[in-house]
Amino acid sequence: MNAYKAPLADIRFALYDVLESDAHFARLGMDDANRELIDAVLDEAARFAENVIAPLNRVGDEHGATYDKATGAVTTPPGFKEAYTQFAEGGWTGLESPTAYGGQGMPHTLGTAMKEMIHAGNLAWGNFPLLSHGATEALLHHGEEWQKDAFLPPMIAGRWTGTMCLTEPHCGSDLGLLKTRALPKDDGSYAISGTKIFITAGDHDLTENIVHLVLARLPDAPAGSKGISMFIVPKIKVGRDGALGDANTVRCGAIEHKMGIHGSATCVMNFDDAEGWLIGEPHKGLFAMFTMMNGARLSVGLQGLGLSERAYQNALRYARDRLQMRALSGAKFPEKPADPIIVHPDVRRMLLTQKALIEGSRLLGYHATLALDTLDHGKDEAERAQADALLGFLTPIVKACITEWAIECTYHAQQCFGGHGYIQEWGMEQLARDARITTMYEGTTGIQALDLMGRKVMQLKGAGLKVFLGMIGEFCAARANDEALAEFVGPLRDLAQEWQQLTMGIGQRAAGDAEEIGAAAWDYLFYSGYVALAYWWARSVAAADASSQSQAFKDAKRETARFYFARILPRTRTHAAAIGSGAGTLMRLPAEGFGD
């Protein structure tokens, strides 16, 4: 009963009318990424998501990934393997990868649009190829030439997949506590021993090999996070010439039984003197890890976007069909026994909340990867530095806010269905369960908030924030006398000023009490997210008015922006007040005061 249709009209509006991405690609020298090619890629990605993997979404949830205790092998749900074969044969696994290793060299922003559709179609299935991209990026930036030559072509071709093996049972997000060991061997390899948990796609039956990137400690490693190194540990050993050898001593010890994403294999991985190769410099593994992690965080933000979009589509369809009661102002469909529930204000509140958060989030997420394209392909060093600062600042906002909004959007979608939203038949409860994990893996919302507040704003002196505030200032100045946008430009300009003041206030209080950083972080994250969406909604109205879109499309953008500014943006008042209350409201209560 639960279906998905790729929102190509709004994706194209975001890419072309608002972000002007095709012109941006041309300026970066990415001449192949013209509008004709982008449209073709979008159409094919939509076809695959709608027709191949979306029908498997419920199959994966009901059947789940299965584990054979005797062999340690994981089997994916029915249809997953065939869908992956189509995906790899279609060249999707290498869409953004360099042509030198068999990829297509397309922009990350185009890959972002594709990933949104994949995650909306089937989040659990999309997890299997998801981390391969991060693993290839780590190899590209930190690997030796032989490692790139041996591992990248089959990974980019989709014959092999990749994982990130980071955390362990005792350390959670504090990777400085990890215990996995790496002992050097005479041939230049290392013997890796330890246990890693929560490893997405740690084992499966989709490909002939799985390449694990593993964090471990060398014998001479200093304590803490400064003593972590990264190693390539394939499931099947790989020679320097790229040839497959014997099975490595790495095995899946179990798969987790989870609240959602049942079709995705979340594995406990055991390494027993497994053959591995150092990637990057000794004791610099965290630096290499963040090459993977930051890309994965952006991708998880897109998972939240995809789930929100699918939930909204089904809620909207149901609201138009479901007949219940009459409109308060009188029957709107007198020929029917009752009006469809879309006439009721509260249902409209829930639908508009979803629409506003989804369409604003799409621009927020796509803009972040447009900065990534600038970082990778920009010719001007100053432009690349600015893009790097902006990308770092936006990444925790994209990851945390869009996934938390996915919880809200899937909740509202369930509510639109009433009791039908709680039963399996309509598929809404699966979307709500699947969405929950997106706020946790690749760093919880609290971790993202600390990254934004502590590192990206305080430690880096707000470099990325300054870039974003500059964008807002430039837009508001250019539209200062535009009466058609006055209702958006004025509030946006005032919020940008308050954003600066809040940031300065936190910094001043933190000089006397370091706890102020953590106390403000969560509210600062969401304050930032809501102001960012206000900017994109103002930009959306301006872009729609100037476009060749239909009048109905333009009116829908304007009215949704008005709803956002009137009913969602005021949430910034609560977050600003919480930030201003200081750390004492959180920290004065002693531990025993919480109860037994």
Six-digit token pair at 529?
A: 């997210």
Is the alpha carbon torsion for 108, 110, 115, 118 positive or negative?
Answer: negative
User: Alpha-carbon distance 503 to 491, whole Å?
Assistant: 18
Decide: helix, strand or coil at residue 244.
Answer: strand
The residue among 510, 54, 37 whose CA lies nearest residue 310 is 54
Six-digit token pair at 572?
A: 């910034």
Positions of E strands within 207-357: 209-216, 229-234, 236-238, 244-247, 250-255, 266-279
How remote is the C-alpha of 4 from its chain's centroid? 19
**Residues catalogued as catalytic:** 442
Q: At what angle do helices 381-417 and 285-321 cross, to 10 degrees?
A: 40
Six-digit token pair at 417?
A: 């269905």
> Cα–Cα distances in Å, from 444 out to 129, 222, 290, 305?
22, 27, 15, 17
Which amino acid, one-letter code, is at 185?
A: K
Backbone dihedral angles phi then psi of residue 198, each to the nearest 5 degrees: 60, 40
> Cα–Cα distances in Å, from 365 out to 1, 395, 532?
29, 9, 11
Pairing of strands 160-165, 209-216: parallel
Contact between 265 and 76 under an 8 Å Cβ cutoff? The reply is yes
Contact between 350 and 415 under an 8 Å Cβ cutoff? The reply is yes
Question: For 325, which DSSP code?
Answer: S
**Secondary structure element (H or E) that encloses residue 428, with its range:** helix 428-438
How remote is the C-alpha of 302 from its chain's centroid? 4
Residue 390 CB contacts under 8 Å (≥ 6 apart), including other chains? 368, 371, 464, 467, 468
Neighbours of 481 (CB within 10 A): 9
Query: Please, what is the Cα angle at 533 between 529 and 539, to 5 degrees?
Result: 150
The residue among 123, 530, 573, 554 whose CA lies nearest residue 356 is 530
User: Alpha-carbon distance 575 to 527, whole Å?
Assistant: 6
Which amino acid, one-letter code, is at 517?
A: I
User: Alpha-carbon distance 233 to 218, whole Å?
Assistant: 15
Residue 344 CB contacts under 8 Å (≥ 6 apart), including other chains? 325, 327, 328
